[in-house]
Amino acid sequence: MVTTADIPGRRTRRRVKDVGPAWTGADEAATLRGFLDYLRTSIAGKVADVPEPQVRTGGVPSGTNLLGLIKHLTRVERFCFLAEPITNMRRTMQPTRQETLDGLLADYRRTIEQANDVIETWTDLTLDAPRPPGRSLPPSRRWVLVHMIEETARHAGHADILREQIDGSTGR
């Protein structure tokens, strides 16, 4: 079996122990937000400190790259929590040459703060979530939180694989 340690030019990093969200939460919304924040932190950590051009280089045939994942998750957070429209979903995965790791990570973190401000006001998860004008009927706030956990977890898994391909880093 070939490991990343056997591939020339690959550094193997120590596995970082994964510490999940707290096991206790005041309520359902706090529990869901705890899992979402855990995943947000995880993916931001996977992308941080990856040099150019690796951070924007596709590691799979679809072209999925770490910078594109952060850009995409930022746009989806804005759509789901801030009711900002997305005009071209495909473009959310494609960073421009002008977009940098530092800039996109800062934007992601700012967006998370804004989204968390919105979530803090959600005392009843059965109510409608914000929705851009002209879109279909809004889902419940509970649905949006669960969807964002699923969306972020899926892309965090992609980031795990891409990062391991880049430098052998595994774990959170």
Instruction: Examine residue 45 and state whether it is found in any structural domain, yes or no.
Output: no
Domain containing residue 131: CATH number: 1.20.120.450
Alpha helices in the chain (DSSP H): 28-47, 66-82, 101-120, 141-167
Query: For the segment 72-110, what is each residue's pLDDT rounded down to a tens digit?
Result: 999 999 999 999 998 887 788 999 999 999 999 999 999
Instruction: Examine residue 21 and state whether it is found in any structural domain, yes or no.
Output: no
Instruction: Examine residue 6 and state whether it is found in any structural domain, yes or no.
Output: no
Instruction: Examine residue 36 and state whether it is found in any structural domain, yes or no.
Output: no
Instruction: Examine residue 66 and state whether it is found in any structural domain, yes or no.
Output: yes
User: Which residues in the chain land under pLDDT 50?
Assistant: 1-8, 10, 12, 14
The residue range of the domain holding 103 is 51-167
Q: Is the dihedral of CA 162, 37, 141, 111 positive or negative?
A: negative
Structural domains counted in the chain: 1
Instruction: Examine residue 70 and state whether it is found in any structural domain, yes or no.
Output: yes
CA pair distance 60, 91, nearest whole angstrom: 17
- The pTM assigned to this predicted structure is 0.85
Q: What is the pLDDT of residue 22?
A: 66
